[in-house]
Chain A
Amino acid sequence: DTGVSQDPRHKITKRGQNVTFRCDPISEHNRLYWYRQTLGQGPEFLTYFQNEAQLEKSRLLSDRFSAERPKGSFSTLEIQRTEQGDSAMYLCASSGPGQGSSQHFGDGTRLSIL
């Protein structure tokens, strides 16, 4: 069990650019989540996958955001035309099947918009 892995750890980009983050969940976990955390706040839910199906999206996930999990393993989160307000820590979590399975988090990708 190598834990949830996120790449990159840090991303600095100019406003208006597109960015893509990757998350590799714990191998036997079929559920994958994306959250956003801003300074001094708790994580806020963005979207959820069960296997390759995206089953839930938050209202926070504007049309500039898109997430995929094409083969039910790793996932990508893309932000198009980044804005200053997108600066945050993007956290990925995964959990196994079953109602009692806990979510395990990666170390996150910190996005800074110049």
Chain B
Amino acid sequence: GDSVTQMEGPVTLSEEAFLTINCTYTATGYPSLFWYVQYPGEGLQLLLKATKADDKGSNKGFEATYRKETTSFHLEKGSVQVSDSAVYFCALHTGTASKLTFGTGTRLQVTL
């Protein structure tokens, strides 16, 4: 079945540091890939998505590239801020399924 594997957290960075959160997937067919962010006490917010190989999703300085050859969708940001502290979830959706399949999430802590 479909699955998503994310790097374990927490990831602790100083403000303005470079961020990478790794995500790899296993899926039947050709999935769409997503990054969601969850702030404390809130639901999930869609951060970015990519629907086909080599697509790059980007939003708010974050970006991720759909790599079919490595089945990866790593999240990157060039300079993190304290306000980026949250839990980040990688997820996939295949055309034949209704549901999103999520990874376990990676907590990011950014300090001054």
Residues in A lying within 8 Å of B, measured CB to CB: 4, 6, 31, 33, 35, 40-45, 48, 50, 55-56, 58, 91, 93, 99-100, 102-108
Bitwise interface map of B from 87 to 112 toward A, beta carbon under 8 Å scored 1, else 0: 00101010100111111110000000
Q: Contact between B46 and A40 (Cβ–Cβ < 8 Å)?
A: no
B binding-site residues for A, Cβ under 8 Å: 4, 32, 34, 36, 41-46, 49, 51, 89, 91, 93, 95, 98-105
| Closest-CB distance, B109 to chain A (whole angstroms) | 15
**Chain A, residue nearest B39 (CB):** A107
User: Closest B-chain residue to A106, C-beta based?
Assistant: B43
The answer on a CB contact under 8 Å between A105 and B45 is yes
Report the minimum CB–CB distance from B43 to chain A (whole Å).
4
Closest residue to A108 on the B side, CB-wise? B43
The 6 closest A-B pairs by CB, nearest first: A42-B102, A45-B99, A105-B43, A48-B98, A107-B43, A105-B44
Known: A42-B89, A105-B44, A108-B43. A55 touches B105 (CB 8 A): no
Question: Are the CB atoms of B98 and A42 closer together than 8 Å?
Answer: no
CA distance A56 to B34 in the complex (A): 21
Chain A nearest CB, measured from B38 CB (Å): 9
Which residues in A have their C-beta under 8 angstroms from that of B99?
33, 45, 48, 56, 58
When distances are taken between beta carbons in the complex, the residues of chain A under 8 Å from B43 are 4, 6, 91, 105-108
- Given A43-B44, A56-B99, A105-B43, residue A100 in contact with residue B104 (CB < 8 A): no
Q: What is the CA–CA distance of A108 and B39 in the complex, to the nearest angstrom?
A: 12
